[in-house]
């Protein structure tokens, strides 16, 4: 099953380090980040989960929950949490799904259908495609996806930046330009007429080209 932006995020029920959850119910009326990692007790994944734990308060400020997943069991996750806190300086407080039967990682196309139905005997290389991020909106639709190679740790500051853009553009008729960060100028969508734009932005805009209309980020 190939998932694309604006598709509904598949729902599921799963065991996590915080107990059983139903995904859509767990998201509630806010936003969510679903991210996977290839395997517990591996070096890059340890740095990733530790950094994200330190950044989790920023996601909370944005009404966005964090949910991790790998094909390891919940008990394995809980043992690994100690290593993450000791080595990275942050305790993991967000839940991690245990998916030893590979059901959810295949549901989200993180592993191919022919991957089997057990985590037994699988190496990190077998799970190389399972380093993905899904940003999911309150409507339970996928707003952005990112997939990294096994050898490349993710930049979770970038994930936060993308979340900021998704949240802003979900409520405003603007787009965010290259290297945009929260608070920077934005671009009025081409679908917005000049007449409509004047009502929203009575002070006007900067136009380096006829089709680029730059304005301060809406409050």
Q: What is the pLDDT of residues 120-134, one digit of tens each?
A: 555 555 544 568 999
**13-154 is classed CATH 3.40.50.300:** no
**By C-alpha distance, which of 14, 11, 10, 3 is closest to 101?**
14
What is the DSSP-derived secondary structure letter of residue 114?
G
Q: Region 56-60: what's the mean pLDDT? A: 98
Angle between helices 43-61 and 156-171 (to 10 degrees): 30
Q: Region 4-14: what's the mean pLDDT? A: 97
**172-215 is classed CATH 3.40.50.261:** no
Answer yes or no: 45 catalytic. Answer: yes
Exposure pattern of 29-40 as b/e (b: 16+ CB <10 Å)? Answer: eebbbbbbbbbb
pLDDT of residue 110: 85
pLDDT of residue 28: 98
pLDDT of residue 119: 46
The Cα 77–Cα 40 span in angstroms is 7
Cα three-residue angle 211-217-219, rounded to 5 degrees: 140
From 45, 64, 119, 166, active-site residue: 45
Residue 115 confidence (pLDDT) above 60 = no
Where are the domains positioned within the chain? Answer: 13-154, 172-215
Read off the pTM: 0.91
pLDDT of residue 150: 83
pLDDT of residue 126: 55
**By C-alpha distance, which of 77, 32, 47 is closest to 154?**
47
Q: Which helix (H) or strand (E) holds 84?
A: helix 74-88
Q: Region 141-149: what's the mean pLDDT? A: 94
Q: What is the pLDDT of residues 83-107, one digit of tens each?
A: 999 999 999 999 999 999 899 998 9
**By C-alpha distance, which of 67, 59, 8, 16 is closest to 37?**
67
Structure tokens at 170: 């979900």
């Amino acid at each position: 099953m190939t998932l694309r932006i604006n598709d509904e995020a598949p729902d599921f029920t799963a065991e996590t380090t915080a107990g059983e959850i139903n995904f859509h119910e767990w998201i509630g009326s806010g936003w969510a980040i679903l991210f996977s990692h290839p395997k517990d007790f591996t070096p890059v994944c340890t740095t990733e989960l530790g950094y994200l734990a330190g950044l989790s308060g920023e996601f909370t400020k944005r009404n966005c929950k964090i949910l991790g997943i790998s094909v390891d069991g919940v008990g394995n996750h809980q043992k690994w949490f100690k290593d993450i806190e000791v080595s990275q300086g942050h305790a993991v407080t967000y839940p991690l799904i245990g998916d030893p039967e590979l059901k959810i990682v295949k549901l989200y196309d993180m592993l191919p259908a022919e991957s089997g139905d057990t985590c037994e005997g699988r190496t990190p290389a077998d799970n190389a495609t399972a380093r993905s991020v899904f940003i999911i909106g309150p409507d339970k639709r996928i707003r952005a996806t990112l997939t990294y190679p096994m050898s490349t740790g993710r930049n979770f500051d970038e994930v936060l930046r993308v979340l900021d853009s998704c949240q802003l553009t979900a409520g405003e008729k603007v787009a965010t330009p290259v290297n945009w960060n929260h608070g920077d100028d934005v671009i009025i969508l081409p679908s917005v007429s000049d007449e409509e734009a004047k009502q929203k932005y009575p002070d006007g805009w900067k136009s380096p080209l006829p089709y680029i209309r730059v304005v301060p980020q809406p409050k």
